[in-house]
Structure 1
Amino acid sequence: MARTSDRLTAVDAGFLHQEGPAAHMHIGGVTVFEGPAPPQEEVLDQIRSRLHLLPRYRQRLARPPLQSGNPVWIDDPAFNLEYHVRRTALPTPGSRSQLREATALIFSQRLDRSKPLWELWVVEGIRNDRWAMISKTHHALIDGISGIDIATALLDLGPEPMEVPHPDQAWQARPVPTPAELLVEGMVGAARAGVKGLTRAVEAVGRPRAAVDRVREIGEGVGEMAWALMNPAPDTPLNVPIGPHRRYRAVESDLATFRRIKGAFGGTVNDVVLAVVTSALRDWLHERGVRTEGLELRALVPVSVRTEDERGQLGNRLTAMRGPLPVYVDDPRQRLEVIRRSMEGLKESKQALGAETISNVQNFAPPTVLAQASRLTFSTRLFNVLVTNIPGPQFPLYFHGRRMERAFPVAFLPKDHALAIAILSYDGAINFGLVGDHDALPDLELLADRLRAAIDELAALAEEAEPAPRRRASRSAS
């Protein structure tokens, strides 16, 4: 029997299990380009010319009967590019706030499970002769790192579109598998996963010392995950029932500022990101009348385990760490130091390895067990807010000759989580995208303001900490 489908991994399927009427598991971004916008037919032609590089974008979900395995990707015989690539325009004056509102509205709608799980919106009418693309893709299809690679498949390194080799024959959908074929493929997929596990076990017999070390590390990692479950995240206004509607805000900064802060106080750029998020949440909680003495929030920090040879492939290669957000600390420099030490400890710990091990074990689990496990992964017992930092290309990209000026990420809200913060670096900028539940976070703009203030505060402290000759050189260079 010819293979007509690809089985979802446990992590990919977990995002499907987590989706509900209020919790939408799609992610994406808002990219702003120099204008004017290309005609719709030219947009369609460029995407059509690259679509063979993205085979999953012409596939839809199918479920094996009798829950014999995870859902599978099959070719959509009714695929219609015009359905997925849509066009709209902002009313005058075409402000950034209007673009944010349009983004929130688009991300408030679930993707149709009967079609390939993505949409791309071309937005005209942005002030100063600009236009935008709003991408929206289900998390079962891509993770953030993979998504950046896929974006580069549609974009160019210069104003001139690159030459893309095309297959000799036009795409034709493979036959839709019958229920019997899906049942057999589901059982074969489960057996294949079992054989893979057995193969690893046999290989381990030939390398006993390495196997013992690996088992010990995995045991420590699973133990740390168990400790996290027994020490739940605190109750906060961020962890309440949510609805289907969203708010969206964006905060712009430059990567050089974060690197300067890192250089002054140590740590990594990601430590600085978590520090400014912590400062903003601390101030926001105070505005809400919440006392922060002794309060430490937990952030779910996705970690990519995608290897170099897996770059550009679809699907998720993610695990996660639970990073501390010490809102109890008064001094911003001390907050950064607490985060730096904590994140160093997490990297040295086996927490990420434990999470990856649990994810790998889930590949052997039946769908009913997997659904329960995925609910645990996004439980409010484990974290208060999602914070994901995505490294993007540090050079300009183009679409049909138009330079991409800015890029902002859009994350998802799991059940009972009213806020998610995504960070994307691109061409010298580092931009924050804040997604909030419409009803639970009517003051999302206030949180965005506090985030801007936190960046400015740490930047000013970093400048004071720099030696005087370096400060003078920096000013003269600007």
Structure 2
Amino acid sequence: MASVANRDRLSGLDSSFLHLEHDAATHMHVASCMVFDGPPPTHDELVAHVEARLHLVPRYRQRLAFVPYGQGRPVWVDDPHFNTRYHVQHHALPAPGGEEELKQLAGRAFSQQLDRNKPLWELWLVEGLADGRFALLGKTHHALVDGISGVDITTVLFDLTPEPPPTSTPEVPWVPRPLPTNAQLLADAMLERTTVPAEIVRGMRASLRAPRRVVKKVVEDLAAVGSFTLPGVRGAPPSPLNVRIGPHRRFTWTNEDLERVKQIKNALGGTVNDVVLATVAGGLGRYLRAHGHPTIDLVLRAMIPVSVRADAERGALGNQVAAVWAGLPVGVTDPVERLELVKHEMEGLKESGQAVGARVLTELTGFAPPTVMAQAARLQAHQRFFNLVVTNVPGPQLPLYVLGRRMQAIYPMVPLAQNQALGIAIMSYDGCISFGLNADFDALPDLDLLAGQLTEALEELAAAAGLPPLGSPRRRRNGRPASSPSPARAAAGGSAE
């Protein structure tokens, strides 16, 4: 019986994202809300634009095929029923078409799981925004793409100028390959099971030829794994952010000036990422205190994904990410002290080798039986290893265009795991740095309050850095004036309890 030829099997990490999505409450897609200058294109124009470039990302016309009895990780196969119009949808906002209506639609879009019987992505064209603008809501399953490579993949649809050069055309029209049968899928998985040990044996032979080098590498890897796993074993502190979540989401954002963040970094030291994490810690502290939660000596644990993708692999599909655990000193109300603690924490993480340890564990998942991996992923979701996910992705610092329309802003979204009610994704683009907040609908009903407190925490750092205050009313880069702090927000900035 012939085995499946030229099929891409999911890695252990990619497969784990499927296992994490084992109920209706968890959705393992990454997403973004992108706002453009108008006028909006027609649905037909956008569909044609996507179809003209799909050959550059052939996986976007592939879906998953699952091995019978769970005897192997799924493989990517061509979807014989692929229809671009299913994936590129058309929606309109109700009047007045403001940010509130857009946020509500984004939250509803991000609450819906992707259909595993189809390619794991969607693109929503949203018209009806005020001032003639429009938006695109993009969703891609985490098993297909991670945040870092996702920045590269979006260049397939984006252009660097309003009038881009002609797109290359495929030499031959796309024709889907025949779907494998269940017997073929099972046989291929069994064959792979028998060949992997042979690869291990060859590796052992190589080890015998260079024992000292191998022993040194093993010792380094074990130390790195220990630095990664020990914080997780200790567990994260209890917090109102760690509750049982449902399937519905709220999504909001705040936009900041990237140059202002860099000025804070230059004045107070550290990196842009340190300033961002200190801002998140300050905003979370304000939010918890505003709701009567004591924060004295409280350090929340953030899981921070980091890319371990080599530069030569940028743009490749699939996940090559690891994670580090970082403490967020939400109980520290002095902004400079908070930044110093974050800087010290991040410097320690770089020296500890946590990311290396995470990658070692990730590579080991490739050798674990799929049924064991499924249970391990679900166990991880039930444990409280971290309080929230914070991811910071550097984006392009020049304007991007779709069908000649300039993108004004992009607001990223990171998914939620079980018992994790909040995720914060940060992305820089064209001089802005945007904080995208994704939350369980019921656990954080006042998510916009937290978004405002992130801005206030950043302004605390700006004042400490000696920067002049922003004008009042402030104006974002997208032209929307920001409201002044509410009494609840002002009270949230008080001393820790």
| Fold conserved between structures, TM > 0.5 | yes
The 5 Å alignment of 1:358-377 reads 358-377=361-380
Cα deviation for residue 62 of structure 1 reads 1.1
User: Which amino acid is the alignment partner of residue 454 of structure 2?
Assistant: L
User: Which amino acid is the alignment partner of residue 327 of structure 1?
Assistant: V
Match of 1:108 among 91, 94, 111: 111
Query: How many residues end up aligned between the 2 structures?
Result: 465
The worse-fitting range, judged by mean Cα deviation, of 270-279 and 369-378 is 369-378
For residues 200-239 of structure 1, what are the alpha-carbon distances to aligned partners after superposition, in whole Å with 9 as ceiling and x for unaligned?
Answer: 4444444444322221111111222331233110010000
- State how far apart, in whole Å, the 1-side matches of 2:431 and 2:191 are: 47
Note closer, same or farther for the CA distance 1:327–1:380 as it changes in structure 2 (3 Å cut): farther
Give 3-state SS (helix, strand or coil) of 1:329's partner.
Answer: coil
The 5 Å alignment of 1:385-424 reads 385-424=388-427
Is residue 329 of structure 1 aligned with residue 348 of structure 2? Answer: no
- Counterpart position of 2:479: none
- State how far apart, in whole Å, the 2-side matches of 1:85 and 1:350 are: 42
- Counterpart position of 2:284: 281
Give 3-state SS (helix, strand or coil) of 1:128's partner.
Answer: helix
Cα deviation for residue 369 of structure 1 reads 1.0
The 5 Å alignment of 1:15-414 reads 15-19=17-21, 20-414=23-417
- State how far apart, in whole Å, the 2-side matches of 1:73 and 1:50 are: 19
**How does the TM-score come out when normalised to structure 2?**
0.91
Is the CA contact 2:31–2:140 (under 8 Å) kept in the aligned structure 1? yes
For residues 109-160 of structure 1, what are the alpha-carbon distances to aligned partners after superposition, in whole Å with 9 as ceiling and x for unaligned?
Answer: 1111111111100000111110010001111110001111111111111011
Cα deviation for residue 460 of structure 1 reads 1.7
**How does the TM-score come out when normalised to structure 1?**
0.94
- Counterpart position of 1:471: none
Cα deviation for residue 196 of structure 1 reads 4.5
Give 3-state SS (helix, strand or coil) of 2:323's partner.
Answer: strand
Match of 1:454 among 453, 457, 467: 457
For residues 90-122 of structure 1, what are the alpha-carbon distances to aligned partners after superposition, in whole Å with 9 as ceiling and x for unaligned?
Answer: 112110111111100111111111111111000
Return 5+ residue gaps in structure 2 as ranges.
469-497
- State how far apart, in whole Å, the 2-side matches of 1:149 and 1:464 are: 34
Note closer, same or farther for the CA distance 1:361–1:188 as it changes in structure 2 (3 Å cut): same
- State how far apart, in whole Å, the 2-side matches of 1:292 and 1:327 are: 7
- State how far apart, in whole Å, the 2-side matches of 1:103 and 1:416 are: 22
Cα deviation for residue 410 of structure 1 reads 1.1
Cα deviation for residue 72 of structure 1 reads 1.0
- State how far apart, in whole Å, the 1-side matches of 2:383 and 2:69 are: 31
Is the CA contact 1:324–1:342 (under 8 Å) kept in the aligned structure 2? yes
- State how far apart, in whole Å, the 1-side matches of 2:284 and 2:269 are: 22
The worse-fitting range, judged by mean Cα deviation, of 404-413 and 225-234 is 225-234
- State how far apart, in whole Å, the 2-side matches of 1:228 and 1:348 are: 15
Give 3-state SS (helix, strand or coil) of 1:363's partner.
Answer: helix
- State how far apart, in whole Å, the 2-side matches of 1:238 and 1:193 are: 42
For residues 176-220 of structure 1, what are the alpha-carbon distances to aligned partners after superposition, in whole Å with 9 as ceiling and x for unaligned?
Answer: 001111012222334454444444444444444432222111111
- State how far apart, in whole Å, the 1-side matches of 2:226 and 2:204 are: 21
Is the CA contact 1:124–1:132 (under 8 Å) kept in the aligned structure 2? yes
Is the CA contact 2:282–2:457 (under 8 Å) kept in the aligned structure 1? yes
Identity of aligned residues (%): 50
- State how far apart, in whole Å, the 2-side matches of 1:202 and 1:275 are: 48
- State how far apart, in whole Å, the 2-side matches of 1:376 and 1:338 are: 31
Give 3-state SS (helix, strand or coil) of 2:448's partner.
Answer: helix
Match of 1:9 among 11, 23, 44: 11
Note closer, same or farther for the CA distance 1:290–1:44 as it changes in structure 2 (3 Å cut): same
Is the CA contact 2:233–2:385 (under 8 Å) kept in the aligned structure 1? no
For residues 357-395 of structure 1, what are the alpha-carbon distances to aligned partners after superposition, in whole Å with 9 as ceiling and x for unaligned?
Answer: 111111011111111222344454310000000111111
Give the superposed CA RMSD: 1.5
- State how far apart, in whole Å, the 2-side matches of 1:324 and 1:101 are: 31
For residues 280-304 of structure 1, what are the alpha-carbon distances to aligned partners after superposition, in whole Å with 9 as ceiling and x for unaligned?
Answer: 1111111121111121100000010
Give 3-state SS (helix, strand or coil) of 2:63's partner.
Answer: strand
The worse-fitting range, judged by mean Cα deviation, of 25-34 and 188-197 is 188-197
- Counterpart position of 2:486: none
For residues 50-87 of structure 1, what are the alpha-carbon distances to aligned partners after superposition, in whole Å with 9 as ceiling and x for unaligned?
Answer: 10111111111111112221111111000000000001
- State how far apart, in whole Å, the 2-side matches of 1:173 and 1:267 are: 51
- State how far apart, in whole Å, the 2-side matches of 1:51 and 1:407 are: 22
Return 5+ residue gaps in structure 1 as ranges.
466-478
Is the CA contact 2:37–2:406 (under 8 Å) kept in the aligned structure 1? yes
User: Which amino acid is the alignment partner of residue 307 of structure 1?
Assistant: A
- State how far apart, in whole Å, the 2-side matches of 1:250 and 1:305 are: 27
- State how far apart, in whole Å, the 1-side matches of 2:208 and 2:101 are: 61
